[in-house]
Amino acid sequence: QVQLVESGGGVVQPGRSLRLSCVASGFTFSSYTMHWVRQAPGRGLEWVAVISYDGSSKSYADSVKGRFPISRDNSKNTLFLQMNNLRAEDTALYYCGRSNSWNYFDYWGQGTLVTVSS
Amino acid sequence: DIQMTQSPSSLSASVGDRVTITCRASQDIRNDLGWFQQKPGKAPKRLIYGASSLQSGVPSRFSGSGSGTEFTLTISSLQAEDFATYYCLQFYSYPLTFGGGTKVDIK
């Protein structure tokens, strides 16, 4: 069965860094485009970043562009989000999700919570 | 960027009611739209893909319609387990954008 398991969240001070991971299983990870989506406490869903199946193409929300590089290791079925220069407004539950062609976000992980606070 | 305007932002309904939620895109997105349900403390769950295709395992009381810029999610007869927040998502172009959400609660 398809599983996406996020980790790496925690409490961090503004300006510091954190690296999120998403380990995939139950499907051919290297065939799927992968995404990060976040949800601030009590707020709606916000798409964050995407990386193509082979890592050659990436795109970002304006709110994280230049701060949150996305990457993947297909040999380890793992997606990453390197979160640099964190701000209070980055506080959120971060989810990973998959897509290919027209099939977007049929599975979600449980999320990992990032809290940016001094 | 494509803006997704979802309405209403909240609604109160009773079990058995017919419920309709609308998403309007700021430009033509063909049928590149999905609907998601989220319950408190849980990850979102996809209900509809391609604007009108029902996700496997989702009850048939859920249906989606529309194309271009106007989309609708309909719950034909609201059940107790349907009280949740619903989101639309356009995947026509990046950045992907979600609607603001519709919270459905008990009248």
- pLDDT tens digits for range A15-62: 999 999 999 999 999 999 999 999 999 999 999 999 999 999 999 999
B61 has pLDDT over 90: yes
Closest in A47, A95, A99 to B43, CB measured: A95
Three-class SS state of A30:
helix
pLDDT band at B77, cuts 50/70/90? very high
Distance CA A81, CA A68 (A): 6
Inform me whether the C-beta atom of residue A103 falls under 8 Å from chain B C-beta atoms. yes
Inform me whether the C-beta atom of residue A62 falls under 8 Å from chain B C-beta atoms. yes
What residues of B are in contact with residue A106 (Cβ under 8 Å)?
46, 49, 55
Strand-pair category, B4-7 with B19-25: antiparallel
Distance CA B86, CA A17 (A): 32
Q: What mean pLDDT, rounded, does chain A reach? A: 97
pLDDT band at A102, cuts 50/70/90? confident
Could you tell me which chain B residue has the CA closest to the CA of A100? B91
Strand-pair category, A3-7 with A18-25: antiparallel
Q: What mean pLDDT, rounded, does chain B reach? A: 97
Give mean pLDDT, residues A98-104: 89
Per-residue pLDDT at A61: 98
B28: Cα within 13 Å, side-chain hemisphere: 2
| Token pair recorded at residue B58 | 């989702």
- Nearest CA-CA distance, residue B89 and chain A, Å: 9
Distance CA B12, CA B24 (A): 21
**């949740």: which residue's tokens?**
B84
**In degrees, to the nearest 5, what angle opens at C-alpha A50 toward C-alphas A46 and A52?**
160
Q: Which of A4, A38, A47, A113 would best serve as a mutation to test chain B binding (most B beta carbons within 10 A)?
A: A47
A101 has pLDDT over 90: no
What residues of B are in contact with residue A109 (Cβ under 8 Å)?
43
Residue type, B76: S
A-B C-beta contacts closer than 8 Å: 53
